[in-house]
Structure 1
Amino acid sequence: MGALRRRVALGTAVLTVSGLLALAAPGTAQAALVCPGREVVTLPFSTGTVHVFRRGEYICAYTAPKRSGAKRTMSVSVQARGNRPVVDRGRYTRRAGPVTVHAGHRCVRVKGAVGGGSVSSGWILC
């Protein structure tokens, strides 16, 4: 009976710790699921943040609101120099995007908006 109690206690402890870890780093886990690669730029603005990732010659970005919940207008745009922008625009609760472009070794311009707030990076990652 003592061995069974120890196993149940150990199982409960493992589940508790894994749950706490998931709560402690939700942004990191969510970002890994949204865009591949490593985060190279974060563009905060009054109503949200644009997260920009690079993996090889590809750039991926998404816009996240400061507070998720009700649907609101959001957008994200990534443009490699010399090409047209790739845009995701709509009414979302969690994020706009992700959008991915092949940038090669060209500069990119990233834009994002949530409600009335917006940000534009200018030409970056050259």
Structure 2
Amino acid sequence: MLRQSSRVLTVQTKGTGFTEITRLVQGFVADSGLEEGLLTLLLQHTSAGLTITENADSAVLADLTDRLAVLAPRDPSLYRHGVEGPDDMPAHIRAMLTNVQLSIPVQEGRPALGTWQGIFVVEHRARGHHRSVVAHLIGR
């Protein structure tokens, strides 16, 4: 018989960059008591992202942050939308590139991540925010 568990995970970011939430997600999975299933994570925001990337070398995160800045620069002359400040429209573009939803298999009571993989909220705004991630697990 399949069971389900869900929770809203709250994450405080510090501004532009990556906030690792792997342990928070692992805690949710462990608390669910489910050993096998499918975990879905949804970030409820349009100016931040959700991604899985390397969590061993912080240079990777710095390089990714730098490349996102090149792809969607904070130059207000490039955009029509600017109501919430010069970092708002670039944040929306970066959120499309980093996605807001992940699906992760759960095996043996843990997210089935690779050795060097971590789950991150990617803050695209200049200042920190409280971000909400809806976690839903279905399985047995």
- Compute the TM-score of the two structures, normalised by the length of structure 1: 0.29
Which is higher, the Rg of structure 1 or of structure 2? 1
- Compute the TM-score of the two structures, normalised by the length of structure 2: 0.27
Query: Which has the higher relative contact order, 1 or 2, with Cα contacts under 8 A spaced 6 or more apart?
Result: 2
Structure richer in strand, relative to its length = 1
